Structure 1
Amino acid sequence: MGIAQKHVSEAVTATLVHAEKPREIANPFSHMKNRYFITFAFALLATSVFCTACRQTKQAEGLIPIPDKTAYSSSISALLDEYRFIPLSTTDENLLGRIAKIIKYNNKFYIASDHKRILVFNADGSFSHRIDRLGRGPQEYTELADFDISNDRIFLLGFRKVFVYSLEGMFIKRIDLPYNTLKLQTIGNDLLIRSNKESLFYRIDIASGESKDLRIGMKQSTRIDEDNCFKPYPDGYLMQEGFSTTFYHIASDFSIEELNLFSDDRFFDEQTENEYIREHGSSYDEHTTKEYIGSCAGWQNQHLYQIQRNPSYEKVEYLVADLAARRIDHKISPACDDDVSYMGLSDLFKYAHKGSSPDGFLTYLRPAELREAIRRHGDDGTQHYRWMREHILDRIRDDDNPVLVEFRFKPTAG
């Protein structure tokens, strides 16, 4: 069902800084002034080595340079490698309410709905089954705070408990916890659980249920963003520190390091900066917070970051980063049109942070809004519009159920 799009020709360029070789000094001990000169030269060399080491340390911490000039594509489809829509089949038994999380596993979509149940859909959107063990029995949960899937088992986080079920919903075991929890992630044979205390995490052995405090290396006062918690990262996961560009990296061996992903604050293009200055004055930096990452989504190869100036500033830009290759693949501004769903960038990316797919980004669109956007666009005679009419509008039977969108961006060279 994938539709290939045109490739982007712009590549991210890197700037190399070359240092001059130090001038050679003949007979350095022949005169007193040469003694002072060589002392100065050694001091300068030591400073240069120290600065170089600092730069290398920063690079090792995960900094990715943002290109000064990035050409924005006029349409979102020009940036995408492939995308597909999956309208979900609906019945009275599988109506979806508020979607908390989506996981694609073994070509099925597992969707947490209303913090009560997990509805499972096949790759074509047809309904498969539901996992609904809501109750107060020993094999039942009273709330669905979070879930993850690993080794053909579902790990469901309830109130002070982790329930382990089969993919079909059969009970396997329960792990009791002595603390309140918010988020859960499987790492190997262990669980990583975020407590409701901001910087407190626990590593739990799945077999024994024993836990260990993971506060070491993390600030006690850190506010961990709930939506940007446990995002895939090379060798581990990322967790954002509040409204900032600072993240914590928890590696597969459970070591923790603090890092900033981007090397400078030049997120916005010149036109957007000038518009902001006209609206807020030339000294806006003195009165507003710096840029921060509002939300992020990720899969194995790419991350999508929404950059904002401050919570009251409506204009955003998006960075598509390949963290493994240490590069920015795309920089997308609000001026880039969405000709994929016709709903606009903010609506297309609104729920991307709730989805997870090994094949690309995963988001969802509300059918009533999607239907209106397609009709408002009008029939332009293109094959894409006819495809949207035939495969989307004609298949939507209930406005209470979303259409899943799976997509990925084209990688850039270098």
Structure 2
Amino acid sequence: MKQKYLLLVLWILTGCVGQKQNSEDEVSNLDIPLRKTNYEVMMSTFVDSISYIPLETKDECLIGSIDKIIVTDNFYYIVDKTISYSVFCFDKSGKFIHKLSNRGVGSGEYMRINDVDIYKDNVYIWDCSLQKLFIFDHFGRFIEERKFDYMAESFSVLDDSWIVFYADYKDNGKYSCNNSYPNVLFVNIDNKQTKSDLFFDSRMSFPGIMSSPFNFVSNGNLVTSLNDTIYQALPSVTLKRKYVVRFGEQNQKAKKDYIEKLRTETVDLYRGRELRKNVPYVYAFLETPSYSFLKYNLGDYYYLGIINHKESDAYVESSGYKKMNVVNDMDSIAIFMPLVTYKNAVYSYRSPDGITFDEAFKKHIEPDDNPIIVKFELK
């Protein structure tokens, strides 16, 4: 009895749960065509309407780059990680509301932005270099910061207590279990309880692994570059297996060989690129009630898989050499480049270059104006 109690305590303290998946998960298989030809999909087959929201341009809200878009009922949040190190807030008409820019070395200040999430109108900013989570209110006023001992690239706020981090194959030795590191860590910010998951071999050559920067952008969904399963992080502190992506026997063997080399050899960044040329790479999964979208590539071919939930998850794949081959047959302005979903819409953006006054924008657009949010309402 004492031994069982000790094991329970160790599990609670370390969260070391191994790689077993819940056998009761309802998992669907996605059989991917992976054509090495150009195959076009017409946008009108799944998009009902397109609308454009020019973001207000003035000195205090000049956006350097768009690294992430977060959509809520009332606002657009634009994350600029690399130029202004800021989070911009605009209302649904594109009017500028405020800018959160708190870079520095003092209390409540971050050095870099790895990821951002919005929960109950509070803004959460993760700085992996400091291993700190900064929390601000909707108006950009600092609330608190939390220090963690886990290296992560992205995160999602699940509820009032739980946050989930994705490491992207970083060395988190403190949470090692049987010579493996966890790619996912659930953390309770109230009592610091943790639960780790998706372990990988600690002998991996990390520089040779492709990054997965587009996680948790849609309903807590998660993909990893060495795993063929699409997961969803849930407030119940579990990873739900949603889909298993199947690329065919030959491609699966290429991926298995690549992983074995990562485990047994020293693979630097350049050799990693060469090894990945024949390995399919899934880098984003976005979900709506009507459709879901899977983004992946194989060498120089880029793919968008469209899952039609209204027709028993029927799968259509667009493919193109160095391009994503979804054709805008509706207005010729927008490019379907899905970055985030909210309700039954997909959001992206486009540069104002080459655009002048048009009925779609209701105003004159200058080439150096802020980007334009594009909303694709789905059928």
TM-score interval, normalised by the smaller of the two chains: 0.5 to 0.7
Contact 2:345/2:376 (8 A) holds in 1: yes
Distance 1:174 1:242, change over 3 A: same
**Which amino acid in the other structure matches residue 174 of structure 1?**
E
State the match for 1:318 in structure 2: 304
**Which amino acid in the other structure matches residue 219 of structure 1?**
F
Secondary structure class of the residue paired with 2:109: coil
**Which amino acid in the other structure matches residue 337 of structure 1?**
V
Secondary structure class of the residue paired with 2:365: coil
Distance 1:336 1:134, change over 3 A: closer
Q: Deviations over 1:313-334 (max 9, x none)?
A: 33x3422225698503654455
| Alpha-carbon distance between aligned partners in 1 of 2:245 and 2:211, rounded to the nearest angstrom | 18
State the match for 2:28 in structure 1: 62
State the match for 1:365 in structure 2: 350
Match of 1:177 among 143, 148, 156: 148
State the match for 1:306 in structure 2: 295
The higher-RCO structure (CA 8 Å, 6+ apart) is 2
Distance 1:245 1:77, change over 3 A: same
**Which amino acid in the other structure matches residue 185 of structure 1?**
S
Structure 2 unaligned runs (5+)? 1-22, 34-38, 171-181, 250-275
> Shift of the alpha carbon at 1:397?
2.8
| Alpha-carbon distance between aligned partners in 2 of 1:291 and 1:75, rounded to the nearest angstrom | 24
Contact 2:229/2:243 (8 A) holds in 1: yes
Rg larger in 1 or in 2? 1
Secondary structure class of the residue paired with 1:361: strand
Quick one: percent identity of the two aligned structures? 19
Q: Deviations over 1:306-352 (max 9, x none)?
A: 343x22x33x34222256985036544556531345368xx431xx2
| Alpha-carbon distance between aligned partners in 2 of 1:203 and 1:321, rounded to the nearest angstrom | 29
| Alpha-carbon distance between aligned partners in 1 of 2:222 and 2:28, rounded to the nearest angstrom | 14
Distance 1:390 1:141, change over 3 A: same
* Greater displacement, 359-368 / 255-264: 255-264
Contact 2:225/2:282 (8 A) holds in 1: no
How many positions carry a matched residue from both structures? Answer: 302
State the match for 2:259 in structure 1: none
Secondary structure class of the residue paired with 2:216: strand
> Shift of the alpha carbon at 1:171?
1.6
Match of 2:201 among 194, 205, 220: 220
User: Are residues 1:160 and 2:131 paired?
Assistant: yes
| Alpha-carbon distance between aligned partners in 2 of 1:261 and 1:326, rounded to the nearest angstrom | 16
State the match for 1:44 in structure 2: none
State the match for 1:407 in structure 2: 376
User: Are residues 1:148 and 2:117 paired?
Assistant: yes
Contact 2:25/2:240 (8 A) holds in 1: no
* Greater displacement, 293-302 / 139-148: 293-302
Distance 1:113 1:74, change over 3 A: closer
> Shift of the alpha carbon at 1:211?
4.6
> Shift of the alpha carbon at 1:157?
0.9
State the match for 1:124 in structure 2: 93
> How does the TM-score come out when normalised to structure 1?
0.62
User: Are residues 1:194 and 2:177 paired?
Assistant: no
Contact 2:229/2:245 (8 A) holds in 1: no
* Greater displacement, 175-184 / 358-367: 175-184
Secondary structure class of the residue paired with 1:406: strand
User: Are residues 1:239 and 2:222 paired?
Assistant: yes
Contact 1:245/1:292 (8 A) holds in 2: no
Distance 1:129 1:66, change over 3 A: same
Structure with more helix by fraction: 1
Secondary structure class of the residue paired with 2:44: helix
Match of 1:338 among 305, 328, 332: 328
State the match for 1:98 in structure 2: 65
| Alpha-carbon distance between aligned partners in 2 of 1:185 and 1:322, rounded to the nearest angstrom | 26
Contact 1:85/1:404 (8 A) holds in 2: yes
Structure with more strand by fraction: 2
State the match for 2:238 in structure 1: 255
Structure 1 unaligned runs (5+)? 1-56, 267-286, 376-387
| Alpha-carbon distance between aligned partners in 1 of 2:187 and 2:310, rounded to the nearest angstrom | 28
* Greater displacement, 143-152 / 330-339: 330-339
Q: Deviations over 1:353-401 (max 9, x none)?
A: 3x34234111011111x52xxx8xxxxxxxxxxxx72333843234252
**Which amino acid in the other structure matches residue 348 of structure 1?**
F
> Over aligned residue pairs, what C-alpha RMSD do you find?
3.6
Secondary structure class of the residue paired with 2:375: strand
Contact 1:231/1:298 (8 A) holds in 2: no
Contact 1:88/1:127 (8 A) holds in 2: yes
State the match for 2:273 in structure 1: none
Contact 2:247/2:280 (8 A) holds in 1: no
> Shift of the alpha carbon at 1:260?
4.5
> How does the TM-score come out when normalised to structure 2?
0.67
Secondary structure class of the residue paired with 1:77: helix
| Alpha-carbon distance between aligned partners in 1 of 2:111 and 2:163, rounded to the nearest angstrom | 20
1:12-161 pair list within 5 angstroms: 60-64=26-30, 75-115=42-82, 116-158=85-127, 159-161=130-132
Q: Deviations over 1:274-293 (max 9, x none)?
A: xxxxxxxxxxxxx9736443
State the match for 2:336 in structure 1: 348
